[in-house]
Structure 1
Amino acid sequence: MVITKTPFRMSFFGGGTDMKEFYEEYGGSVLSTTFDKYCYVTARYLPKFFNYSSEFVYSHIERVTDVDQIQHPLIRNCMKYQKMHHIRLAYDADLPARTGLGTSSSFAVGMLNAFHALKGEMADKKKLANEAIYAERILCHEAGGIQDQIAASFGGLNRIDMDEDGYHVIPIVISRDRKQELNDSLMLFFTGFSHMSAAVQEKVKENFQDKIRRLQDMKGMVGEAQRILTGKGNLTEFGHLLHESWQIKRSLSGGISTGEIDAMYEAAFKAGAEGGKLLGSGGGGFLLFYVEKDKKPYVKKALDKLLYVPFSFETGGTRIIYYRAEDPVNF
């Protein structure tokens, strides 16, 4: 039996530049962090006592006699990709799916990590990221970028640069106190509704050439954000940059924001938030704000109808938290 624990991520700057259509020609760059909300994947070989050969427990329960019968496309494709059979797999998470936190990619990374461990293999973080990208983007034909899989695998506060030759993960090196100051200045709220990331990404890809300049501007903000974090100045600039980035991002597609989301953002801004953004591709999920300490009670009150979610940064990425060697069931 194997249990993996894989963090969710929040992307600060550069979202959209991690799409292949952009970074292979112009180079992409994102700045993101993982935080202490996780998905857990439990996997083991299923004994041959049942009238089904594999069982999968997530928001539904599937019991199948053949891999091709699996309804969940990511599970089906990862099972076939890794040549897995007679598996019982269960998914659990601290936060809901389809909410802009890279949950599907964290699931992909955690599941692949579990499958390798079941086979007695130790997969490194880059291998897991690459396989998760392949599973989601190629095997499942899901639209989107590659930052989520990389963040979930590696963990931590990083700049991720991408081009036609691949990607590089560059840790943001700042003092513990400055990192804690950043963490303490961020507030996370659940809007109450979810979205399909791939659907929003498809809309962003419409008239893609017309959006190149705005994506280039968003890419440039990654370097500016890194300068702010690694410098000695006031971190409030980080909040102002978030606000500027959000204004550009929401112009990429009508599906990224909604009237309700705009009203929530405006309420937080009027209450004292320096800046913020909707996490993920858009359409719903979690709102993140940069708020000075003395303004936090006012922002919380202004958004009192939303669920406030405290969090702390994490650095571990995907990991195996329980392992007991098993042989495939042959009886």
Structure 2
Amino acid sequence: MIYRSKAPLRLGLAGGGTDVSPYSDMFGGAILNATISLYARAAIEPIAENKVIFESADRKEQLECEAVFPLTCDGKLDILKGVINRVAKDYGIPSGFKLTTFVDAPAGSGLGTSSTLVVAVLGAFAEWLKLPLGEYDMAHLAYCIEREDLQQAGGKQDQYAATFGGVNFMEFYGDKVIVNPLRIKDKYLDELENNLVLYYTSTSRLSSSIISEQQKNVTEKKEASIEAMHHLKEQAVMMKEALLKGTIDKIGEILDYGFQHKKNMAKGISNSQLDEIYEAAKRAGASGGKISGAGGGGFMTFYCPGNTRYAVVDALNAFGGQVKRYHFTHQGVNTWTI
């Protein structure tokens, strides 16, 4: 038997960073994101030997160790070990197994790859062990594994996006998370998909260092950083209204509004290369855009009104990155057995 799972990556459209403590604890956060047709995938095959065999197919990494829990986190595939250790602790694992994983986007690219991979692996375990995990339960458990067990800096949105799927307006109040699925007309979502260009800069970054500085700025009550996050929370509400009302061409301006404020949250969110790409896209016809995730590299998205996407794509290609095709998806983590 093979127990499979896939969970969708996400585009953060507005409010990014306001889901990170301590800002969300002190002021409440708001995020608008949408899942896309790029996935983290996991497969579990039980085996007779008392071993855990890892195969990270996208990273070309393999590892084998005794099935004695907790596994030692030593810098090698720790995110997978973290999931296994929590499942073994909370539910028990009955035998040895092989875990194969694959993610459709590089780590550190700003589409929530790490958190989505945690959700996918949890989904495979839930399918194998018949774990009683609802959507909120799975997302919260994934968050606890990353932020508490593995002590990795970051927010809360990615785990909930991967679990719920679709276009969601999310609210964060301390430990409380509220996911509000948005009922957007198909023609509005089709227009957004047509006009929103996803561009991989062919660089990646360690998001934890940017997020750690962002957290420090809030703790130290740095006014410019906190004010920037207030504006990004407003941006999430603006984005929700534009999508629901169908004023899609306002989205470029809303993205630009957020991009200008996000750069004030912490150092390293943008740099001269990313600013040059951004300005080139705007000269070619984009009305706004953003850096995905914490910033510093990875994917960028640009809103291209009318038929300007073709000129924008041409301008972006000059920088040596890659425009990535995608579709919006409605389903979150999905599991099955073969």
CA distance in 1, matches of 2:175, 2:125: 28
Q: Displacement of 1:216 after TM fit?
A: 1.0
Superposition RMSD in Å: 1.4
Consecutive unaligned residues of structure 1, counting only runs of 5 or more, are 325-331
* Aligned twin of 2:105: 95
Equivalent of 2:244 in 206, 220, 230 = 230
1:309 corresponds to 2:324: yes
1:184 corresponds to 2:194: yes
Letter in 2 for 1:299: V
CA distance in 2, matches of 1:133, 1:165: 11
For residues 136 and 176 of structure 1, do their structure 2 counterparts lie closer, same or farther at Cα, with a shift above 3 Å needed?
same
TM normalised by structure 1 equals: 0.93
Aligned identity (percent) is: 28
Q: Is the 8 A contact 2:20 2:215 kept in 1?
A: no
CA distance in 2, matches of 1:316, 1:273: 29
* Aligned twin of 1:267: 280
CA distance in 2, matches of 1:215, 1:22: 8
Q: Displacement of 1:25 after TM fit?
A: 1.6
1:159 corresponds to 2:169: yes
CA distance in 2, matches of 1:176, 1:170: 18
* Aligned twin of 1:54: 52
CA offset digits 1:251-305 (Å, max 9, x no partner):
2222111111111111101111010001000111101000023211111111112
Please state whether the residue corresponding to 1:6 is helix, strand or coil: strand
Q: Is the 8 A contact 1:44 1:118 kept in 2?
A: no
1:113 corresponds to 2:123: yes
CA offset digits 1:23-76 (Å, max 9, x no partner):
11211100000001111101121221xxx7111111211111244245322222
* Aligned twin of 1:79: 84
Equivalent of 1:292 in 298, 302, 305 = 305
Q: How does 1:113-262 map to 2 (within 5 A)?
A: 113-164=123-174, 166-208=176-218, 209-210=221-222, 211-233=225-247, 235-262=248-275
Please state whether the residue corresponding to 2:243 is helix, strand or coil: helix
CA offset digits 1:83-111 (Å, max 9, x no partner):
13512101112222210000000100011
Letter in 2 for 1:79: I
Q: Is the 8 A contact 2:23 2:215 kept in 1?
A: no
CA distance in 2, matches of 1:255, 1:194: 12
TM normalised by structure 2 equals: 0.91
Q: Is the 8 A contact 1:261 1:284 kept in 2?
A: yes
How many residues align structurally?
319
